[in-house]
Amino acid sequence: MDFVIIANDWAAGIDNPTSKHRIAMELARRGNRVLWLEGTGMRVPTVSSGHDRSRITGKLKKAVRPPRLAMENHGLEGKIWVLSPLSLPIPNLAWVRGLNGAIYGNMGRFWAGRLGFHKPALINYVPILAEAMPVWPWQRVYHCVDRWDAFGMYNSGLMSEMDGRCCRYAQNVIASSADLADRCRRHNPQVDLVMHGVDHAHFAQALEDAPRPDDLPPGEAAGFFGLLSEWLDQELIVKLAHSIAPAQVVLIGKADVDIERLKGIPNLHLLGPRPFSKLPAYVRNFQVGLIPFVVNDLTRAVNPIKLREMLAGGCPVVSTMLPEVERYAGAAGAVDVVRTHDEFVEAVRRRLAKPATAAQRQAISNCMESETWAAKVSEILRAISAS
């Protein structure tokens, strides 16, 4: 099959691939061709923001280019193209959303035809571009991977409306968590629940002998990697660091929220982002992995890929009470799901006091062997083919 995918910026997933990038790459590995349309922003940009101005400038430069090949160094050359349609960054206006949707739908059709695609299926990840779906003459899929109306940075009412439209316009809806699937079924009965996957082979490298990363502090470590965003329970992280000293708390990832309160604590280390290729080396040296999320409407819908990645690396995990983590509470005795801050601290202490043996870490990794992205893409393709 051929696919047109509306998602985020392609370059955003080069060092740390998102679920969308993983799915596109797996489709390409199977011989499917993919045209990736970089979506427009889901909020009005701030003129005073240097980041927003830079992003607008970058999009204007890319918008004048024809589709460009991606993945030349991954054996997928000639399978994935990336296009950046020009759009107006004013998603709060209905006529702008209609115009942007028409631009994306028609540009996708035009360039898919020029590239020789045959009746490509459209997979949309960007709810603010819902209006691209009605103009699509072939199969339309909405892949819902987040509770968009629960993000503090977005207009909640607008995102709820656009999420519903995407569901109604789609012939198939794929949801990444039970909470999302239930919400999507309010608008479309044709919803399939497909959990996120994991690059098992990559993270299983954490089971091999390898040098300790130079920037990882010595001693026992409880660690997290991923975007440091509004879902992190910073109060919990501070309490944990104070409670388990001299053991280390290590956070790896870029921050898009204020994290000043996490600084200045001797055993709490903010390492910043690290390339995806290097993450197994850190996981190897974590005695316990952390999912220290606040529990709210946003996170109750989250299906954390980082959970699977840490487990694939053989690392036990302590998490707050997230429904999609509770599913794995019995996985090789490796996942502790707790209700309170005190229980979280105590669970981490227990894991640090009795680290998993090499055999136990291997067993933890083995329980993720069936959760690969290849398996998840097979589920998605079956759902699409069944309609």
- Interval 280-298 mean pLDDT: 97
Which token pair is 287?
């005695």
Using one digit for the tens of pLDDT, what is the confidence trace for 97-121? 999 999 999 999 999 999 999 999 9
Using one digit for the tens of pLDDT, what is the confidence trace for 184-231? 999 999 999 999 999 999 999 999 999 999 999 999 999 999 999 999
Same domain for 267 and 305?
Answer: yes
Please state, rounded to an integer, the average pLDDT across all residues of the chain: 92
pLDDT exceeds cutoff 60 at 235: yes
Name the phi and psi angles at 39, rounded to 5: -75, 165
Same domain for 293 and 210?
Answer: yes
Q: Bridge partners of 372?
A: 198
Using one digit for the tens of pLDDT, what is the confidence trace for 251-269? 999 999 999 999 999 999 9
Using one digit for the tens of pLDDT, what is the confidence trace for 139-190? 999 999 999 999 988 999 999 999 999 999 999 999 999 999 999 999 999 9
Using one digit for the tens of pLDDT, what is the confidence trace for 310-327? 999 999 999 999 999 999
Q: Number of folded domains in the chain?
A: 2
Residue with tokens 């569901």: 167
pLDDT exceeds cutoff 90 at 20: yes
Same domain for 205 and 279?
Answer: yes
More confident: 332 or 88: 88
CA pair distance 119, 165, nearest whole angstrom: 23
Same domain for 152 and 207?
Answer: no
DSSP 255: B
Torsion of CA 19, 20, 24, 29, to 10 degrees: 0
Give the domain extent around 327.
200-366
Same domain for 117 and 227?
Answer: no
Same domain for 192 and 270?
Answer: no
State residue 61's pLDDT score. Answer: 59
- Which pLDDT band, with edges at 50, 70 and 90, does 54 fall under? low
Identity of the amino acid at 35: L
Same domain for 24 and 169?
Answer: yes
Identity of the amino acid at 372: T
- Interval 338-342 mean pLDDT: 97
Same domain for 179 and 215?
Answer: no
Q: Dihedral of CA 229/150/238/357: which sign?
A: negative
CA pair distance 24, 123, nearest whole angstrom: 10
Same domain for 41 and 144?
Answer: yes
Same domain for 189 and 282?
Answer: no
Residue 312: partners with Cβ closer than 8 Å, 6 or more residues away:
198, 199, 200, 202, 203, 204, 206, 365, 368, 371
- Which pLDDT band, with edges at 50, 70 and 90, does 44 fall under? low
CA pair distance 143, 317, nearest whole angstrom: 27
Same domain for 116 and 215?
Answer: no
Same domain for 75 and 169?
Answer: yes
Using one digit for the tens of pLDDT, what is the confidence trace for 65-94? 778 888 655 667 679 999 999 899 888 999
Q: What percent of the chain has pLDDT over 90?
A: 83
CA pair distance 18, 305, nearest whole angstrom: 9
Looking up residue 289, the CATH number of its domain turns out to be: 3.40.50.2000
- Which pLDDT band, with edges at 50, 70 and 90, does 60 fall under? low
Burial class (CB in 10 A: 0-12, 13-18, 19+), 49: exposed
